[in-house]
Structure 1
Amino acid sequence: MASEAEIILPIGTQKHDPAWKHCLMIRSGGRTKLKCMYCMKLFLGGGIHRIKEHLARHKGNASCCPRVPPEVQVAMQQSLDGAGVRKKKKHKLSEEVKKVSLSSNQGEGGPVDAGLQMMPLPEMLHDIPPLQVEVREEGMPKDRGRKKRARYTSPPPPPSPAPLQPLPTALQVGVPIKSYSGAAVDKDHVAMAIGRFLYEAGVPLDAVNSVYFQPMLDAIAAAGPGLEMFSYHDFRGWILKRLTEEVNYKLLHLKGMWGRTGCSILADEWTTDTGKTLINFLVYCPEATMFLKSVDASYIVTSADTLYELLKHVVEEVGATNVVQVITNNTENHAVAGKRLTETFPTLFWTPCASQCIDAMLEDIGKLEAISEIIENAKTVSGFIYNHVIVLNMMRKYTNGKDLIIHSDTRAAMNFVTLKNMTCLKEDLRAMVSSEEWMECPYSNKPGGIAMADLIGSLPFWSSCAAIVRITEPLVRVLKLVESNKRPAMGYIYVAMHQAKQAIKKELVKKSDYIPYWDIIDWRWDRQLPRPLHAAGFFLNPQFFYTIQGEVSNEVSSGMLDCIERLVPETKVQDKIQKELSLYKSAAGDFGRKMAVRARHTSLPAEWWSTYGGGCPNLMRLAVHILSQTCSTRGCERIHIPFEHIHKQKMNYLEHQRLCDLIFVRYNLRLQQRQLLKTKRFDPISIDNIDTVDDWVVEKCELLSGADEDPNWMALDPPLASRVISENSDDIEVEAFIAGLDNEVIQGAGQDAEDDDEIKEEDESHDRTSFT
C-alpha cells in the first residue's frame, strides 16, 4: 500500500506504450516514480522500459514480477521483441543514410542510387509516421512544399456538406468524424455524433452535466485522428482497475486526515423502488466525503440488535479512535442501537440526522390546512404554465429566462423554495397575464388559463405566499447549512435552530399563532437523546462564545463537559483541558491577539483554533475534532447507480466483485463532482427530476385545456444556458444567514432565553393554521 505522502498522478493520453496500462505513476518525496500494479514494486528509475522488462519477467535490468498474469507477461514480451526489431531496422536505415552521405560527391548512377535501390521503399518508411495533407480550398494559393509531401499520402477526402444539409454518408452510418486537415469539424456534426451515441446506448442525458464530460472531449480532441477505440473489456478491465486503485489511494490519503480532524460515519438509509431498505455507509471529514459500501438492511433495521451489530462492524472497519460520531436515522430502533454503540465504544457519539429532522419539520408545516391550500394554488399556476408551450415560452420571456421551480433534494423543501421563487417573480407574472399577448392567447379563455390568471392577480394569494415564505425560510436556510459542503455545520447548528424559532416568533408575534410551529420544531428536534456535540460546537465557536455576556446556559456547559469526558478518555488530558478552558474563556494569550479577534468572524472555527490555539494544544485538538464534523447523513444523488444489483443473491462471484468496485468508483466520483460542480443545468419538466417536481409540473385534471390544441415540445424554447443553478448560491445564502445572526439571537441561544416554552396558555386548542 502507498504511504500517506504518495499521490497518484494521471497518465497522459500521449503515453501509448502498452506497459502504461499495468503500472501507476505516483509522486513521493518530490520525485515521480512508477509502481507495478500487480506486486506494487516501486521503480525509482529506468522509465517504462524497465517496467516492461519487469512484467515480461525479463531477467537483467529489472526484477521479475511474481504476480503478473500470464497473458500480460506474453504481451510485454511481444512488445519487447517488436521494439528490438524496430531498433534493428532503424539502425539499418541509419547505416544506409550514412553510406549515402559518404557517397554524396559521386556522379549520377553511382553508388548513391545503388544504395537506395538496395532498400525497398515500404521498409524504408516502416518507422516513419504517415504524413497528413492540408486540404486546400479553391482560390487559395498553391503551396509547393505541401504539394510535394502529398506524393506519400492518399488523396484527401471530399469536404463535408454545410450544416443542416443532408448528412454525409459517414455520418449517416455512424462512422466517427475525422479531421484529416487539422481544421475544426463543424460543431453541429460533433453534436449529432455525440447525440447518436447517447441515444443509442441509453446513456442518461444528465451525464453531460458531469464535470468530467468536457475533460473527456478535450482528451479525445487532443489525441487527434486515428485514436484507437477502447474496447468493452478495456472498460470492464484495466480502466476500471486503475480507477479503483486511484479512488483507493484517495481513501488512503483521507485516512490520515481522519486521525487529525476526526471523522463522522454517515449511514444514509433509503428505500428502493422495489421496497428494499439499503444503507450507504460514507465517512465524512472536512476535506472530502468518501463512500465505503452499500448494505441491504431490509431485515436489519427492523431489529435494534442486528442494527447495532452492523454499525459496530463499520466503526471497527473505519477505526474507533478516528470516529467522533455515527449519524443515522432517528427512529426508535436507531436510537436504541446508537445507545448500545456508545456503550461499546465510549469515545464516540450517536447523533440523529439533522437534515432529516428539519425536512420532517417542513413536511409537517406543509400539511397545515391553510399552508397546504396556498401550496396547492401555487401548483395550479405552475402546472398550467409548464404544460402549454405557448404559455411557458411567454412566462420565460417575461421572467427573462427564469423558471418558477427551483431544484431541491426533497419534496418538502421544494414546496417552500419554489414558493419563495414564485413570490420573487410575482410582478413578472402579473405583467404577463395583464399583457395584450396573453389576452390574444387561445388559453386565456380556457378554464385552466382563467384559474391561473385569477390566482396571479389575487393580492390575498400573494400576501399569503409571502407570509409562508417568511415563516419557513429560516428552516430552509438551516437545512442548507447542515448540507453545506463549505462549512462543517457542527459549530452553527445549535444557534441556527434557535434563530429559526425566534424568526417565526418575530413574524407571527401572537403566541397562539407561533406556538403551533414551535411545537412542530420541538417535537421533531427534542424527542431524541440530547445532542452534546451541538452544544459543544456552539461553545467552541469563537464567533458565538465571545458574544455572550455572562455565564452560558447549563445545557451548553453540560454538553461541553460531556464531550470532554467522552472524546478524551485519559483523565490527565481531561484535567489539562479544564485548565486550558480558562485561557479560552478569558481570551488570554494568542486568543486575545487583534488578528484572532478579527478572525472570529471571518475564519472557519476549526481553522481559527488551528491558527491561534497553539497555547492550549489539548483543547485545540478537541475543538478541531468537534468543529470539523457534519450534522447530516445525506450523500449525493443515487440515480443511475445500480445499488440493488450488488444485493442480488444469484450472481457470479467474480462479477459481483467487479460490480462492487464499479459502484465504489462511480459513487465516489459523484461525491468528488459535488465538490467541483459550480453550476448545474436544471429543467423542471425533465424526467430526471420527476421524483421531486412531478406535482409542480402536472396540470390538474379538472383544468385540462386540451393537449390536441397545443404545439408539440419541439416548439418549446429551452431554458437559457445562462439560467443554471449555481451550487455556490446555497453557500452564499448560508453565509448571509450566518452573517445575519445578531448578538441578541446569539445571547439568547447561549443563555437559553426561550422562556416561552415554560409558559403554556390555558387554552390548549392552538390555531395551527394561522400564519398571517
Structure 2
Amino acid sequence: MLGQVVTDNASNNMGAKKLLLEKRPQIFWTSCAAHTINLMLQGIGKLPRFRKVIDQAFWKDVKLMLAVFEPLVKVLRLVDGDVKPSMGFLYGELLKAKREIKEAFGNVESRFKDVMTVIEKKMNGRLDSPLHLTAFLLNPHYSYANPSIFDEPKMNEAFISCVEQFYYHDEDQQEQTANFELKKFQNREGPFSKKLARTFQNYDYNPASWWQLYGTETPALQKMATRILSLTSSSSGCERNWSGFEGIHTKKRNRLTTTRLNKLVYIQFNNRLMNNREKIKSKKITDVLLSSDTTEAQGFLQEGGDDCAQVVFRDEEEDEMEGTWIPWSVIGEAVGAEEQLEPRRSARVRL
C-alpha cells in the first residue's frame, strides 16, 4: 500500500515532515501544489513591475501580466480541480508554464529572470521531489513525446529513490523494477509498442488506467506507476471537506455527535458534488478560479453558499480579449466595470 502525506508549507508542517520520515521512511511526503503555486503568483504579484501598474504603461503591463499569470493559473486549475489525479501532470505542466512565460518576454533573459527566480524559489524542494519527477517520467504523455527524459541524471536518481521507498526493504522487487522493467517501458517493448498505446494525445486521458492496460508484462513497475499516477498533488480536497464540517457544525448553532456530523457532511458533500457534475455533463462547466466572491468549492459547501458565491459559467460564444483566454466580461469585472457593492470575502489567492 502506498502512503502519502500532503500538507501546505507552514513551518510546523516542515518540522512534522522530518519527524514523520524518520519514523516512517516508506511514506511519501509532498508539499501542497495548490498552496505552492499560489505562493508563486503572490511572489510575482509583489514584483514592482506588476505592483505599480497604474501608470502610463498600464494596459501594456496588464497584457503582459495576463501572459505571465495565464500558464500558472492553468496549472492551478489542474491541481485544484477534481477532474483527474494531477500528480502525473504537475511537473510537466510546470515546465510548459515556464516555457510559455519565457516566450511572453520574448525569450529575453533579462526580462524574465526575476519572474523565473520567484517560480524556482517556490518550486525547489516542494514541487520537484523524487515523487513528482518519477510521476513525470512514468507518464507516457511526456516520456513518449520526449524519450530523452530517461537520459537525465536527476530523473534516474528520482526514480531509483522512489523505487527504494515504494518497495521498502524488498531488494528483489527493487532490482526487478529498476534494472529490468523500466528498460522495457523506455524501449517500448511488448504491449508498450502497440499502436493503441501511443494514442494518448488527448490531455484528459488517465495515465494510471493506461498503465493498468499496457503494463501487464512489467508487474512491479505497473503496480508502482499505477499507485503514483493515481495520487493527488494538492490538499484542496481536504479543505473542501473541512468547509463542509464548518458549514454544518458550529458552537453557536449546535453540538452534534461525531457520528451524526459525519453523516450530515457526507450527505451534503456528495449532494453538492453530484449537482456540480450534472453541470459539467450539461457543459455548464464552472471555473473555480473565476468565482466573483470566494472559491466555488467553499461556496457550494457552506450553508447559503450558492447565494453568495457567484459562479461564473463559461459561455463558448462569449468574445475574449485578443491574445488571451479571458472573456471581456471577466476583464470588465476585474477592472471594476461591474464592481459589486457588497463586501467580498477573502479569496484563496491574494496579490
Structure 2 CA distance, aligned partners of 1:529 and 1:494? 7
- Equivalent of residue 136 in structure 2, options 505, 525, 538: 538
Q: TM-score, normalized by length of structure 1?
A: 0.34
Report if the CA contact (8 A) 1:677-1:727 is conserved: no
- 1:335 is aligned to 14
3-state SS of 1:587 partner: coil
3-state SS of 2:4 partner: strand
Tell me the amino acid that sits aligned with residue 13 of structure 2.
H
Report if the CA contact (8 A) 1:565-1:574 is conserved: yes
Report if the CA contact (8 A) 2:85-2:229 is conserved: yes
Structure with the bigger RCO (C-alpha within 8 Å, sep 6+) is 2
- 1:526 is aligned to 124
Determine whether 1:628 maps to 2:230: yes
Report if the CA contact (8 A) 2:147-2:186 is conserved: no
- 1:512 is aligned to 110
Deviations 1:586-615 (A, max 9, x none): 111111112212346564211211111111
- Equivalent of residue 246 in structure 2, options 623, 643, 650: 643
Structure 2 CA distance, aligned partners of 1:609 and 1:574? 18
Determine whether 1:666 maps to 2:264: no
3-state SS of 1:351 partner: strand
- 2:221 is aligned to 619
- Whose helix fraction is larger, Structure 1's or Structure 2's? 2
- Equivalent of residue 172 in structure 2, options 572, 577, 588: 572
Shift in Å, 1:346: 2.9
Q: How many residues get paired?
A: 292
Deviations 1:601-636 (A, max 9, x none): 564211211111111111111111111111111137
3-state SS of 2:145 partner: coil
- 1:366 is aligned to 45
* 1:405-554 mapped onto 2 (5 Å cutoff): 460-508=57-105, 509-528=107-126, 531-550=129-148, 551-554=150-153
Shift in Å, 1:681: 7.9
Tell me the amino acid that sits aligned with residue 349 of structure 1.
F
Determine whether 1:725 maps to 2:323: no
- Describe the shift of the 1:573–1:367 C-alpha distance in structure 2 as closer, same or farther (beyond 3 A): same
Deviations 1:237-259 (A, max 9, x none): xxxxxxxxxxxxxxxxxxxxxxx
- Describe the shift of the 1:670–1:339 C-alpha distance in structure 2 as closer, same or farther (beyond 3 A): farther
Report if the CA contact (8 A) 1:543-1:600 is conserved: yes
Deviations 1:702-721 (A, max 9, x none): xxxxxxxxxxxxxxxxxxxx
Structure 2 CA distance, aligned partners of 1:631 and 1:595? 28
- Describe the shift of the 1:681–1:554 C-alpha distance in structure 2 as closer, same or farther (beyond 3 A): closer
- 2:188 is aligned to 587
Shift in Å, 1:531: 1.0
Deviations 1:463-492 (A, max 9, x none): 322111111111111111212322321111
Structure 2 CA distance, aligned partners of 1:334 and 1:369? 31
- Describe the shift of the 1:491–1:655 C-alpha distance in structure 2 as closer, same or farther (beyond 3 A): closer
Tell me the amino acid that sits aligned with residue 506 of structure 1.
E
- Describe the shift of the 1:475–1:680 C-alpha distance in structure 2 as closer, same or farther (beyond 3 A): closer
3-state SS of 1:725 partner: coil
Structure 1 unaligned regions, length at least 5: 1-320, 378-457, 683-687, 694-722, 729-736, 738-772
- 2:328 is aligned to none
- 2:35 is aligned to 356
Structure 2 CA distance, aligned partners of 1:650 and 1:666? 17
- Describe the shift of the 1:644–1:484 C-alpha distance in structure 2 as closer, same or farther (beyond 3 A): closer
Deviations 1:167-225 (A, max 9, x none): xxxxxxxxxxxxxxxxxxxxxxxxxxxxxxxxxxxxxxxxxxxxxxxxxxxxxxxxxxx
Percent identity, aligned pairs only?
Answer: 29
- Describe the shift of the 1:596–1:642 C-alpha distance in structure 2 as closer, same or farther (beyond 3 A): closer
Structure 1 CA distance, aligned partners of 2:232 and 2:315? 18
Shift in Å, 1:660: 4.2
Computed over aligned residues only, the root mean square deviation of the Cα atoms, in angstroms, reads 3.5
- Describe the shift of the 1:466–1:648 C-alpha distance in structure 2 as closer, same or farther (beyond 3 A): same
- Describe the shift of the 1:692–1:536 C-alpha distance in structure 2 as closer, same or farther (beyond 3 A): closer
Shift in Å, 1:672: 4.5
Structure 2 CA distance, aligned partners of 1:339 and 1:681? 39
- 1:344 is aligned to 23
Structure 2 CA distance, aligned partners of 1:640 and 1:597? 41
Tell me the amino acid that sits aligned with residue 351 of structure 1.
T
Deviations 1:401-437 (A, max 9, x none): xxxxxxxxxxxxxxxxxxxxxxxxxxxxxxxxxxxxx
Structure 1 CA distance, aligned partners of 2:266 and 2:315? 24
Tell me the amino acid that sits aligned with residue 152 of structure 2.
S
Tell me the amino acid that sits aligned with residue 499 of structure 1.
K
3-state SS of 1:666 partner: helix
Shift in Å, 1:543: 2.2
Report if the CA contact (8 A) 2:3-2:28 is conserved: yes
Structure 2 CA distance, aligned partners of 1:674 and 1:345? 38
- Whose strand fraction is larger, Structure 1's or Structure 2's? 1
Tell me the amino acid that sits aligned with residue 556 of structure 1.
M
Instruction: Work out which of the two has the higher radius of gyration on C-alpha atoms and give 1 or 2.
Output: 1
Deviations 1:328-349 (A, max 9, x none): 1112221221232233333320
- Describe the shift of the 1:552–1:623 C-alpha distance in structure 2 as closer, same or farther (beyond 3 A): same
Structure 2 CA distance, aligned partners of 1:649 and 1:461? 47
Shift in Å, 1:674: 4.1
Report if the CA contact (8 A) 1:339-1:350 is conserved: no
